[in-house]
Structure 1
């Protein structure tokens, strides 16, 4: 099992939680982004810089992900694609995406996109809170415990 991270928009605090979990549980963790970033030296943490372009990192994650892998992303279409491949998707706020809830999330995303395209001002997501970080850490730990070899 591998943890894949859509690292372009992943908050630093969430990456720190992932780095600690990777070393603690000896879980391969692969970050993909189209810009350079630093990761701590670890045999379990790997960074791949992909070429610039829309959804290049997302497409690479979809290409590489396997059933039962965990993908960290806030990108709803990416979450849908990895779920379709049998993987699990978890948002940086600790929301677990599943076959049961991804359709509704896609519909809501599309609704807001339509509103913004028609000129309606919508607020962006709230800042990542301590409760969000704790929720993420709890979901991550739960998943890693359930999928240990």
Structure 2
């Protein structure tokens, strides 16, 4: 099992590393060169950098991810495509994407985009708070315990 992280703006990267450390599960952080870091990680954590083109991180993750792998992403579109590859997908706010909720999430994103195209305004995401970290840690730990 491999844990993939859409790491450009992932607020739970440190949580993932901490929770995977006892198992030394392979973690692959995929990010654009715009988010380059000199940080050194454990040997079981890999960083892959891609161009800063729109969707480059998504395309790279999709080219590597396979059935049974885990993906952490805020991107509903990427989550939808990973679910089609029979992957486990978790949002950093602490909910798991499933075949039962992905259509509603994509529809909501589409309607918000249409509203913005027409000059309307939509609310952005709420700030990421400690409760979000705790919810993510709970869901991620539960997922790991079922698939390890």
Query: 2-side partners of 1:38 and 1:96: how far apart?
Result: 31
Describe how 1:115-126 pairs up with structure 2 within 5 A: 115-126=115-126
Counterpart in 2 of 1:9? 9
Is structure 2 residue 48 aligned with structure 1 residue 53? no
Partner of 1:101: 101
Normalising by the residue count of structure 1, what TM-score does the alignment of the two structures yield?
A: 0.93
Q: Report the 3-state secondary structure (helix = DSSP H, G, I; strand = E; otherwise coil) of the residue aligned with 1:24.
A: coil
CA distance, structure 2, for counterparts of residue 38 and residue 10 of structure 1 = 17
Gapped regions of structure 1 (runs ≥ 5): none
Give the corresponding residue for 1:128.
Answer: 128
Specify every segment of 5 or more residues in structure 2 that has no aligned partner in the other structure, as ranges: none
Residue 30 in structure 1 maps to residue 28 in structure 2: yes
* Offset from partner CA, 1:30-65 (integer Å, 9 cap, x none): 000112135442122111111120101101111110
Provide the residue aligned with 1:145 in structure 2.
Answer: 145
Instruction: Give 1:25 shift.
Output: 2.0
Stretches of 4+ aligned residues off by more than 2 angstroms: 37-41
Structure with the larger strand share: 2
Q: Distance in 2 between matches of 1:27 and 1:38?
A: 22
Q: What TM-score results when the alignment is normalised by the length of structure 2?
A: 0.94
